[in-house]
Amino acid sequence: MTDDTEGAEPLDHAEPTVLITGATSGVGRATALALAHRGARLVLACRSEQRTRPVLDELRGLSPHGDATFLPLDLGDFDSVRACADAFLASGRPLHVLVNNAGVAGVRGLTASGFELAFGVNHMGHFLLSRLLLPRLRESSPARVVTVSSESHYQADGIPWELVRRPTRSFTGMREYAVSKLANVLFTQELARPTRASAVTAAALHPGIVASDIWRRVPRPVRPLITWFMLSPEDGARTPVWCATASEPTTMSGGFFDRCAPRRPSAAATAELGAELWGRSEAWTNAWM
């Protein structure tokens, strides 16, 4: 793979360590490879070692350090999130960038920890992981938390608290996906408050509409027709890589970014809703802290 991510800069540290979730395919895989090109040491936190293996092999081929590593992580299961964070913390490694990338869309159900599937994986799992890793990010500062949200978040007008602890209600799961992506934006805004994460900056982003495995549920005959018009995963990695490396996102901590530029988030992303989401998410995860 060639690295043609425009506007991105070398990472802040001489030997930057990046932990990225969901790097088996799509935006996560392309982001991991582009960051490795910039000298990052990658930790891939993914559900399946078997599906991660080809990406690890690619990374080890690229990186002069050759130390890309795998950590098991199922974001729908708080025990797994805790075990992943514990394993990373026990390694003693610094953490300069956490990329909360993994996500599900158009799926229905409940996570092992009892949350609506999209909300549980996309928001709750990343909330707990970030909270557990925050002390190491602070110690390693300057450090960043980059969360892959979506422009779908504009479709949510709030968080239906009575529904986020129940199985997915809508037929397509897309209404719940929009709520989970609004939660990503709110989480980022809250994380940027000085009381939450001093010396750690936060960015949320839309990667574009990307021809990734997220469309795997679209029937095979139709899939090539719709993905034909989409960005490649490498193009989809541009904004996450820029958020992880460029200086602008750090001066606009808490922002939402699209096409390597700031974009006004949904009017539903209010400070009041963010504080409520943070408080509830904290209460739901306190037993794992």
Query: Interhelix angle for 126-139 vs 78-91, to 10°?
Result: 20
Query: Interhelix angle for 174-191 vs 271-285, to 10°?
Result: 100
> Would you say 15 or 57 has its CB closer to ligand NAP?
57
Quote helix, strand, coil % in the chain, to nearest 5: 45, 15, 40
68 scored as a contact of ligand NAP (CB under 6 A): no
258 sits in which H/E element = strand 255-258
27 scored as a contact of ligand NAP (CB under 6 A): yes
Interface residues for ligand NAP in 159-178 (CB under 6 A)?
none
Give min distance, CB of 140 to ligand NAP, in A.
23
Interface residues for ligand NAP in 135-154 (CB under 6 A)?
148, 150
**Which listed residue (78, 88, 177, 256) is catalytic?**
177
Contact segment (CB under 6 A) with ligand NAP among 18-26, 218-226, 248-256, 258-266 equals: 18-26
Residue 135, preceding bond cis, omega within 30 degrees? no
Distance CA 127, CA 121 (A): 10
265 scored as a contact of ligand NAP (CB under 6 A): no
For the window 29-58, what string marks contact with ligand NAP as x by the rule CB under 6 A? -----------------xxx--x-------
> Would you say 13 or 165 has its CB closer to ligand NAP?
165
Residue 266 backbone phi and psi in degrees, to 5: -55, 145
> Is there a contact between 16 and 39 (Cβ–Cβ < 8 Å)?
yes
130 scored as a contact of ligand NAP (CB under 6 A): no
Distance CA 122, CA 181 (A): 7
277 scored as a contact of ligand NAP (CB under 6 A): no
Written as one string, the DSSP assignment of 124-169 is IIHHHHHHHHHHHHHHT-SEEEEEE--GGGGG--S--TTTTTS---
Out of 34, 35, 75, 192, the only residue in the binding site for ligand NAP (CB under 6 A) is 75
Is there a catalytic annotation at residue 177? yes
Interface residues for ligand NAP in 195-224 (CB under 6 A)?
206-207, 209-210, 212-214
Give min distance, CB of 199 to ligand NAP, in A.
26
Give min distance, CB of 95 to ligand NAP, in A.
18
Residue type, 186: L
> Is there a contact between 111 and 124 (Cβ–Cβ < 8 Å)?
yes
Residues whose CB falls within 8 Å of the CB of residue 63, separated by 6 or more in sequence, listed in order? 36, 39, 40, 41, 42
> Would you say 207 or 255 has its CB closer to ligand NAP?
207
Query: Interhelix angle for 238-245 vs 26-37, to 10°?
Result: 50
286 scored as a contact of ligand NAP (CB under 6 A): no
Out of 103, 173, 254, 274, the only residue in the binding site for ligand NAP (CB under 6 A) is 103
Out of 19, 34, 105, 273, the only residue in the binding site for ligand NAP (CB under 6 A) is 105
101 scored as a contact of ligand NAP (CB under 6 A): yes
99 scored as a contact of ligand NAP (CB under 6 A): no
Please give the residue ranges that form the binding site for ligand NAP (CB under 6 A): 21-22, 24-28, 46-48, 51, 73-76, 101-105, 121, 148, 150, 206-207, 209-210, 212-214
Which residues does the annotation mark as catalytic? Answer: 177
